[in-house]
Amino acid sequence: MTRGVRLLAYADRLGGDLRRLAELLDGPLADLAGVHVLPFYTPYDGDDAGFDPVDHAQVDPRLGDWGDLAAVGADREVTADVIVNHVSHESPEFLDWRARGAESRHDGMFLTYDTVFPRGAGEAELTAFYRPRPGLPFTPYAVAGERRLVWTTFMPTQVDLDVAHPAALAYLDRVVGALAAAGVDVVRLDAVGYAVKTPGSDSFMNAETLAFVVAITERLRAAGVRVLVEVHSHYELQRRIAPLVDLVYDFAIPGLLLHALGDGDIAPLLRWFELRPTNAVTVLDTHDGIGIIDAGPAGDAAGLITEDDMRAIFDRAAIATGGHSEVASVVPQWASMPHQINATFPSVVDDDEAYVLCRAVQFLAPGEPQVYYVGLLDGRDDVAQFLATGQGREVNRHVYSDAEFREALARPVPQAILALARLRRDHPAFDGDFAIARTSPTAFRMSWVAGEHRLTLDADLAPDARVAILDDGSRVYRGLADLAAIPAG
């Protein structure tokens, strides 16, 4: 494990390809200790921006090859996605099964209605399934001349795997083998929460899913990689998963920070610091948006914040983005509000001092901090891209030209974020013990101490204050201007 802040980025949207991304990481982004390269498989620009691979074990030649990925990871930790739940409907395995049916060696690899419901299902059983999209999770496909209902949890072009079938497991082994051979250190199990369908339940991260997580983690560790599980759900679920794998996400912290910025209420955030797993990748934003559901209630389980608190976060985001976030954010079937905000984090916060304060809190939290490329560059909502594609998440997936990148990186906010990243990578206090304590109704102190080395952050989230005061043991940095001026090296 490498200490420091990781980048989350698409190679085509930051740099243009894997070789250029490596040059950026070796050059102006050298303060970052690792990178999660979002799907670079064939094709990287499908219906779901690479999360619908036709060939999951092949680098899209427009981005480079396995040697280029190995070069990205030569001097830093690399994370890559293993899309556990599904593949593209144009994958060779699925096309072969559609053409040959039971005669295909891939027969059984893909999940059908009959696989889950061999005796049929009633309305209650069908509507019980949790799905992050509107509608039912089936798409009709012709298979060897017969009409079949294939399970499609996300999009009609993303066909689900039967992860209990040997053909699907052999496929996943092939994918992980290719990644490990290219030097990938961490694999993220994308959409694993939906991978196991259990009749009579919502089939989202239930006991059967957790058993699969344990089994697949053992399988992947044997291939020499660490395992990161991606699940958006009630915070207690992250606590249950954390002991089973190497890493989980802290998806609760962005919603709790946005809640605190709304009215200065820091109690839920401090409560989370008492509970949160320490083997967490801390994020404020990702390619999917800003998670809010993770801090809220679920069924009878109370949240760190209430549904009214969540609704207030969405309402403030809509005001800050001129209504764009309300249009772009998707309300899943059976839900009363979106699970996440489709907007950039800087657009939602709409205050440079407050935004850098949030990054400082994130980077000083125990775990492994990760910064999304749009957030790093202080990017604002790409409304034109959203309108052109009709996809809400595209508002937070801007394509940066070299000129845009250089211009954005030179601004104070990105420079302050990189300075915080250098501290997280280099300061010896991070080898010691962490503590957090309330210092006023709206403020708290975070500290790391290792012997004589000490690093503290005083954070005030009051609407009229919103300032970060950082003491690295040699001098005090107050707010954005001081942090942006910290010299490199």
The token duo for 377 is 């560059």
**Contact in structure between 448 and 364 (CB atoms under 8 Å):** yes
414 upstream amide cis, omega within 30 of 0: no
Torsion sign over Cα 482, 370, 232, 324 = positive
Catalytic pick among 230, 250, 381, 458: 230
**Contact in structure between 329 and 314 (CB atoms under 8 Å):** yes
**Contact in structure between 468 and 458 (CB atoms under 8 Å):** yes
What DSSP string runs through 294-312? GGS-BTTBPPSS-HHHHHH
For 456, residues 6+ apart whose C-beta sits below 8 A from its C-beta are 445, 446, 447, 448, 470, 471
**Is 185 tagged catalytic?**
no
What DSSP string runs through 201-254? S--SS-HHHHHHHHHHHHHHHHTT-EEEE---S-HHHHHHHGGGSSEEEE-HHH
Phi, psi of 405 (to 5 degrees): -60, -50
**Is 230 tagged catalytic?**
yes
**Contact in structure between 290 and 345 (CB atoms under 8 Å):** yes
Burial of 187 (C-beta count, 10 Å sphere; 0-12/13-18/19+): buried
Torsion sign over Cα 88, 93, 97, 100 = positive
The distance from CA 322 to its chain's CA centroid, rounded to whole angstroms, is 25
- CA dist 166 and 384 (Å) reads 44
Phi, psi of 317 (to 5 degrees): -65, -40
Catalytic pick among 190, 352, 381, 382: 190
Query: Hunting for tokens 């369908």 — which residue is that?
Result: 197
If one counts every other C-beta atom within 10 angstroms of the C-beta of residue 36, the result is 21
Query: Hunting for tokens 């219906």 — which residue is that?
Result: 47
CA-nearest of 339, 320, 343 to 331 is: 339
- CA dist 248 and 368 (Å) reads 10
State the catalytic residues: 190, 230
